[in-house]
Amino acid sequence: MISPIFLVINLVVVALIAIAGVFACKFIGQRVSKKLSVRLIALYTLALLLSPIMAGFIGQDVNERKDPIEVPPYHFEKVLEDYENLNLEDLQEDEFLHQLAVTEISGDANDFPKGSSLMIRSSQFAYNHLNNLIIEVTDAVDSIVITQFNQRFIVDNLDITQEFNSWDWTIKNQELRAEIPQTKIQFNNLSPSSLAFHFDKELSKSIQDSFNFGFIPYENTIQWIQIPEGMDFQHRGNGPWRIKD
Amino acid sequence: MNSMIHRDSKFSIAFEQTKDKLFHHSNAFMYLFILHLIGYLFAFNSGISGFGSGDFLQFSYRSFSTTPLYVMTIFWMIFQGSSLAEEKNRQYYMVSNNFTAYFSDIAVLEIFALIGGVLTLFSGFFMQVYGTLFMENFVLHSVYGSMGVLHYLTLFITGTLYFLIFGTAAYFVGILRVRYKSRFILVAFVAAILLIVAGLLAVRVFGDSALFNIESLFRFYLDERSFFIWLIKVLLTIAGLYTVSYFGIKNMEVNR
């Protein structure tokens, strides 16, 4: 529901710009000589006529996939809840998840002096982010490996999960830490005028539907932490610790 | 009076007048250019249809289309139609009768509509090039993948004919205004009041089913999915507007 005040303000802005346009036409248009205006429109027409060729050279490709993946909303939460029955391979094969990055903590950082152990503290993360961790103790790795998954985010047939920033994992003072960068994406989409589909019912429907891209996964990551067997680690703080042994 | 011109047929005089009017009205192209610039301003600054932010992701989605350019070109056609009709007040052609004046007017309007149609057709490509060069994450809608030559042809024909309808309608109203002067304003005022009263009464008597909105008028054309029926509708509309404006101009005194 649009509030009436918002509507009135919008209308006033549109009216002001329209009045400004009329005045610009009156003041600029009448002072300019006929020759100049003809030349100007010729240049403009030339630029417009050349632009299809330019567009061909630049090569903006269109994603033509006919049946896009319908990602169920909150899929990653179901995966997180079901962590005990799942392996890393299952997540890699999941078509709704995208493996964003694999971070391997290098050798030296894995060695701790005797009697001390790796610390994972919940105070590092906001509560929501602790939710996204799965800790697995395994002998498949020699050092700590963090694999990051994101739920696929598809807008108008385009998978933009690749553009997400991954978490930056380090060990400092025997503590496993993550820097969490925010991904800022502004998506600019050019759609053709609906007049082109005047006699084409199906396409004119599809152009109207595309604006409901539905679920936007703002907190959609799964961080799968593999810790080599035999390494001591402690976890402190409250929160759902998902630990696979 | 120059007798050489009198020997020419009506149509050749009208043709000469068309050329002359195109030259006389060439400032109209400047207006079109300015209006298109405003149209691009609207097209690139409107259409945020999704925005939100979380801890991981700040996402905004904007979709552009060439619709503002169409609106601006329609404004331009209305402007040109009424200014062509306005000129009937001060007829400056020495050798001219109402038929040639009328014929050259509609020829000029058709040429303007054609120019508007071509320019708006290509403005989509122009926006594409501009966006690709100067914008991050600029993508084309997936509908572009299934567009063929026929769709571009549709875009051109529908655009041109709709512009022509608006231009001729404005011309017709302008002719009435020029011809009947103060009586036109009076009649328009009375008609507006009658329409409002009739609308209020209709809603009072028949309820919501009698509501007439301006959208349903355009739906008559816009919802038509069969090309030939649409073409007949549009051409009949234009022909009707031409005819009534010819009858408006037919008995008018020129060179007053």
Inter-chain Cβ pairs, chain A and chain B, closer than 8 A: 241
Residue B240: phi and psi, rounded to 5, are -60, -45
Task: Please indicate whether, in this complex, the C-beta atoms of B143 and A54 are within 8 angstroms of each other.
Answer: no
Residue A145, classed as helix, strand or coil, is: strand
Higher pLDDT, B209 or A27: A27
Residues of B whose CB is below 8 A from A220: 56-57
The enclosing H or E element of A169 equals strand A168-172
CA distance B81 to B109: 7
Task: Please indicate whether, in this complex, the C-beta atoms of A198 and B154 are within 8 angstroms of each other.
Answer: yes
CA distance A216 to B58: 10
What pLDDT does B201 receive? 84
Residues of A whose CB is below 8 A from B221: none
Residues of A whose CB is below 8 A from B63: 188-191, 210-211
List, as ranges, residues 59-98 from A with C-beta within 8 Å of B: 60, 62-65
Question: Shortest Cα distance from A229 to chain B (angstroms)?
Answer: 31
CA distance B34 to B249: 31
DSSP string over A1-48: ---HHHHHHHHHHHHHHHHHHHHHIIIIIHHS-HHHHHHHHHHHHHHH
Contact (CB, 8 A) for B125 and B202: no
Nearest to B56 by CA among A166, A147, A159, A94: A166
Chain B touched by A49 (CB under 8 Å): yes
In a structure prediction context, what are the per-residue pLDDT tens digits for chain A, which is 245 residues long?
Answer: 456 777 788 778 878 877 887 787 777 777 888 888 899 999 999 999 999 888 888 776 665 555 667 778 788 888 888 888 888 888 888 888 888 888 888 766 666 666 677 888 766 665 556 678 888 888 888 888 888 888 888 777 777 788 888 888 888 777 888 888 888 888 888 888 888 888 887 777 777 665 555 666 677 788 888 888 877 888 777 767 788 77
DSSP string over B181-238: THHHHHHHHHHHHHHHHHHHHHHHHHGGGG---HHHHHHHHHT---HHHHHHHHHHHH
Q: What is the tens place of the pLDDT at every residue in A98-146?
A: 888 888 887 666 666 666 778 887 666 655 566 788 888 888 888 888 8
CA distance A31 to A22: 14
Q: What is the tens place of the pLDDT at every residue in B107-153?
A: 999 999 999 999 999 998 999 898 888 888 888 887 887 888 899 99
Residue A61, classed as helix, strand or coil, is: coil
Task: Please indicate whether, in this complex, the C-beta atoms of A185 and B145 are within 8 angstroms of each other.
Answer: no
Enumerate the β-bridge partners of residue A235: A120
B207: left (phi over 0), alpha (psi -120 to 50) or beta: left
Task: Please indicate whether, in this complex, the C-beta atoms of B30 and A32 are within 8 angstroms of each other.
Answer: yes
pLDDT band at B155 (very low <50, low <70, confident <90, very high): very high
Q: Which of B23, B52, B118 has its CB closest to that of A216?
A: B52
Q: Which of A182, A197, A221 has its CB closest to that of B58?
A: A182
Q: How much is the pTM? A: 0.79
What pLDDT does B49 receive? 60
Higher pLDDT, B235 or A154: B235
Q: Integer distance in angstroms from the first to the last C-alpha of chain B?
A: 18
Nearest to B99 by CA among B256, B254, B240, B233: B254
Residue B5: phi and psi, rounded to 5, are -70, -30
User: What's the whole-number average pLDDT of chain B?
Assistant: 83
Tokens at residue A208, please? Answer: 């109207």
Q: Which of B49, B66, B225 has its CB closest to that of A211?
A: B49
pLDDT at B27 over 90: no
CA distance B231 to B228: 5
How much is the average pLDDT of B59-74?
A: 86
Question: Shortest Cα distance from B213 to chain A (angstroms)?
Answer: 19
Task: Please indicate whether, in this complex, the C-beta atoms of B57 and A182 are within 8 angstroms of each other.
Answer: yes
Residues of A whose CB is below 8 A from B142: 62-65, 156-158, 210
Question: Shortest Cα distance from A107 to chain B (angstroms)?
Answer: 29
Nearest to B23 by CA among A35, A228, A30: A35
Residues of A whose CB is below 8 A from B49: 211
Among A183-187, B17-21, B151-155, B203-207, top mean pLDDT goes to B151-155
> ipTM of this predicted complex?
0.81
What is the sign of the dihedral through the CA atoms of A2, B43, A68 and A72? negative
Q: Residue A196's closest chain B neighbor by CA?
A: B155
Chain B touched by A104 (CB under 8 Å): no
Q: Which of B140, B151, B224 has its CB closest to that of A62?
A: B140
